[in-house]
Chain A
Amino acid sequence: MANLKEIRIRITSVKSTRQITSAMKMVSAAKLRKAQDKIVRLRPYANKLHEILVGLSQSLSDSEVDNIFERVSSPEKVLIVVITSNRGLCGAFNSNVIKEAKRVISEKYYDQFKKGNLKLLTIGKKGFDYFRKQSVNLLPEQNNLLHDLSFDNVARVAEQVMSSFTAGDFDRVELIYNQFKNAAVQNLTNELFLPVETVPAGKVKITPVDYIYEPNQEEIIKELIPKSLKIQFYKAVLDSFVAEHGARMTAMHKATDNATGMIRDLTLLYNKARQATITNQILEVVSGAEALRG
Chain B
Amino acid sequence: MKIEIITPDKKIFEGDIKSVRVPGKKGSFQVLKDHAPIISTLENGSVIMVDQEGKETIYEINGGVIEVKANKIILLADSVR
**A-to-B contact residues, CB < 8 Å:** 38, 41-42, 44-46, 48-49, 52, 56, 150-152, 155, 209-215, 219-220, 223-224, 227, 231, 234
Please list 22 pairs of residues, one from A and one from B, whose beta carbons are closer than 8 Å in the complex, sorted by A's number.
Answer: A38-B9, A41-B9, A41-B11, A44-B4, A44-B6, A45-B6, A45-B8, A48-B67, A48-B74, A56-B39, A151-B9, A211-B37, A212-B37, A212-B38, A212-B40, A213-B38, A214-B38, A214-B40, A215-B40, A219-B41, A223-B65, A224-B65
Is B55 in the interface zone, CB < 8 Å from A? no
The yes or no answer to B25 lying at the interface (CB within 8 A) is yes
Interface of chain A: mostly helix, strand, loop or mixed: helix
Residue of B8, B40, B65, B78 ringed by the most chain A CB atoms within 10 A:
B8
* A220/B41 in contact, CB under 8 A: yes
B53 to chain A, nearest CB (A): 27
Q: Whole-angstrom distance from the CB of A98 to the nearest CB of chain B? A: 28
Contacts of B36 in A (CB 8 A): 212
Q: What interface size band does chain B fall in?
A: 20 to 34
Q: Is B7's beta carbon under 8 Å from chain A?
A: yes
List B contacts of A231 (CB < 8 A).
Answer: 8
B79 within 8 A of A: yes
Given contacts A52-B65, A212-B36, A227-B78, contact A44 B11 (CB under 8 A): yes
The minimal Cβ–Cβ distance linking B31 to chain A, given in whole angstroms, is 11
B10 contacts across to A, CB distance below 8 A? 41
- Asked if B7 and A209 sit within 8 Å, CB to CB, the answer is no
Given contacts A209-B69, A215-B25, contact A150 B38 (CB under 8 A): no
A210 CA / B70 CA spacing, docked (Å): 11
The interface residues of chain B lying within 8 Å CB-to-CB of A38 are 9
Residues on A with beta carbons closer than 8 Å to the beta carbon of B78: 151, 155, 227
Assess whether B26 is in contact with A52, with CB atoms less than 8 Å apart: no
The smallest C-beta distance from A42 to any residue of chain B, in angstroms, reads 5
Q: Identify the closest chain B residue to A53 (Cβ).
A: B65
| Cα separation A213 to B9 with both chains bound (whole Å) | 26
Q: Are B9 and A220 in contact (CB under 8 A)?
A: no
CB distance from A76 to the nearest CB of B (A): 32
Residue in B9, B11, B74, B79 whose Cβ sees the most chain A Cβ within 10 Å? B9
